[in-house]
Amino acid sequence: MTITDTRTPVRDLDPDLLEEFRRLAAEDDAANRFFDETHRRLVEAGHYLANVPADMGGGGLNLFETARRQRLLGRYAPAAALASCMHLYWTGGAAELRAAGSDALAFVLDDACSGTIFASGHAEPGNDVSTLMSTTVAQPVQGGYLITGRKSFGSLGPVWDQLGFHAMDSSDPDAPEVIHGFVNRTDPGVRIVENWDTIAMRASQSHDTVFDAVFVPDERIASRHPAGDGDEPVTATAFFWALVLISNVYAGIAERALEIARETITTRTAIAMDGRTLAHNPMLQHQVADMWIALDGLTASLDMLAAEWDDERVDHGPVWEMKLFAAKHRTSCIVRSIVDTAMEVVGGSAIRSDHELSRLLRDSRAAAYHPPSDALAHEAIGKGVLGVDPGGPRW
C-alpha cells in the first residue's frame, strides 16, 4: 500500500511573501481584524511546523533558528509574528522535551502535525507572577479537573484549536498545586470573548477566554508543581522558549524602525543644507548611531542567550531565569527607545496614522506587557544576585 505524505514542508519566508505580509499588516491593523490571509499563507509555508522535529515532518529548527525566523517576520508583520510565537513556544518546548526523553508534551507535536493551532492561556486578571500561581481554579474530579476562570491576551483568538493554560488546585490548602494543561476550543464551558481593541498588536486579536467548569481529562494535563515553584521542566522550557521568541519579534520591530529612519534621511533633502540629504546632518548621524549601537547589543545578547540554551555544554543553573528576565526587560526598554528615536529622525510625517513607523511605535508599546513586568524582573534578579530566598516571604 502506498501512503501519501500530506504534511506541509517548512519553507523559507521569501522576500516577496514578506512584502505581501507587510502590506496586509497595515490593512489588518487599520481594520482591527485578525491576520487571516497572512495566517493562511503561513500555514501553507509550514511556519507552524518550523520547530517540530524533522522526523515528524517539521523543520527541526532549534531555539536560535526559530528566534531568528521570528525576528525576520517581526520586521514585516509584527502582530502575526507575535501571535504565532504562542504556538511555536509550545511546539518548540515539546520538541526539546522529546529530545531529552520526555513525552510530557508528545501530544502537542502529534496534534501540531495534524494541523492543530495552539495558543497561550497564561495571562490572568489579578496575577502578577504568571505561571507560578493562578487565579483560575482547578477542581479535582474523577478522571481530571474542572477548570473555572478567565484568561486574557489569548493571541490567535479567532483560529486557535487548543489553549495551553495553568490553574490552581487548592484542594489541599496546605499544599496548593499549579496544574498545566490544554483545553479544546470546542470543549463545553469554553467561551471566547471578542474584546480585543487596543492601540498595539491589533491584528493578533488576543481575545479573552472564559472557562466555566470545563472538564480537562488527566491525559491533557502536562504537568503539576507546587504553587510558586518555577523549576518544573515542562513549564520552565516552554516559558524560556516563549520569552526568547517574543523578545526577538520586538527586536525585529526595532530593526525595521532603524531601516525606515535610514531610508528616510538618505533620500530626503534639506533646503538649509544646500540640497544635500539629511544623512549629512551630524545630529541625525548621532541619533542613528545610537540606534544602531543599541540594536547591535540587543540582537547580540538575544542570539547568545538562544545559542547557549541550545548548547548542551552550557548550563547556567539558576541563573538561566535571571538571564531570561534580563533579556526580556532589556528588549522592552531598548526597542521602545529605538522606535522613539526613529520617530524623531523621520520627522513629522511619521505621526500620521497611516505611516508604518506610527504603527511600529504602537506595536512596540506592547513589549512592556509581556511577563515578567518591570517590577517582577527586578525583584527576581535582585533576589538572585543578593541570595534572598525566593521561597520565603515575598517582601
> Do the Cβ atoms of 234 and 105 come closer than 8 Å?
yes
Residue 1 has pLDDT above 80, yes or no: no
Q: What pLDDT is attached to residue 10?
A: 67
**107 lies in a domain?**
yes
Residue 3 has pLDDT above 60, yes or no: no
Give 150's strand partners: 210
- Hey, is 5 helix, strand or coil? coil
Which of 117, 143, 158 is at the close of a domain?
Answer: 117
Which residue blocks in the chain are alpha helix, DSSP H? 15-31, 36-44, 63-76, 78-99, 106-113, 233-265, 282-310, 319-346, 356-365, 374-386
Give 123's strand partners: 152
**186 lies in a domain?**
yes
Same-domain status, 123 and 218: yes
Same-domain status, 215 and 249: no
Which of 209, 226, 243 is at the close of a domain?
Answer: 226
Same-domain status, 214 and 272: no
Counting other chains too, the contacts that 28-32 makes at CB distance below 8 Å and 24 or more residues apart are 28/79, 28/202, 28/203, 29/79, 29/202, 29/203, 29/359, 30/353, 30/354, 32/196, 32/197, 32/202, 32/203
**358 lies in a domain?**
yes
Q: What pLDDT is attached to residue 99?
A: 96
d(CA 26, CA 38): 12
Is 1 or 36 the better-scoring residue by pLDDT?
A: 36
- Hey, is 223 helix, strand or coil? strand
> Do the Cβ atoms of 187 and 214 come closer than 8 Å?
yes
Give 4's strand partners: none
**4 lies in a domain?**
no
Q: What pLDDT is attached to residue 111?
A: 98
d(CA 351, CA 248): 25
The fraction of the chain above a pLDDT of 70, given in percent, is 97
**21 lies in a domain?**
yes
Residue 7 has pLDDT above 50, yes or no: no
Same-domain status, 40 and 26: yes
C-alpha cell at 149: 476562570
Same-domain status, 109 and 46: yes
**287 lies in a domain?**
yes
C-alpha cell at 8: 506541509
pLDDT tens string 291-341: 999 999 999 999 999 999 999 899 999 999 999 999 999 999 999 999 999
**40 lies in a domain?**
yes
CATH code for position 30: 1.10.540.10
Parent domain of 273: 233-386
Q: How far is CA 92 from the centre of its chain?
A: 12
Which of 226, 250, 267 is at the close of a domain?
Answer: 226
Same-domain status, 198 and 243: no
Q: Which residues contact 14 (CB under 8 A, 6 or more apart)?
A: none
d(CA 7, CA 114): 8
pLDDT tens string 150-204: 999 999 999 999 999 999 999 999 999 999 999 999 999 999 999 999 999 999 9
pLDDT tens string 55-79: 999 999 999 999 999 999 999 999 9
**135 lies in a domain?**
yes
Tell me the mean pLDDT in the region 80-102.
97
Same-domain status, 141 and 212: yes
C-alpha cell at 122: 497564561
C-alpha cell at 79: 502582530
Instruction: Report the amino acid identity of residue 26.
Output: A
Sign of the C-alpha dihedral, residues 207, 212, 216, 221?
A: positive
Considering the chain, what is the average pLDDT of its residues?
A: 94
Residue 135 has pLDDT above 90, yes or no: yes
Same-domain status, 137 and 207: yes
pTM of the model: 0.95
Which residue blocks in 150-281 are alpha helix, DSSP H? 233-265
d(CA 27, CA 29): 5
Same-domain status, 249 and 368: yes
Same-domain status, 170 and 301: no
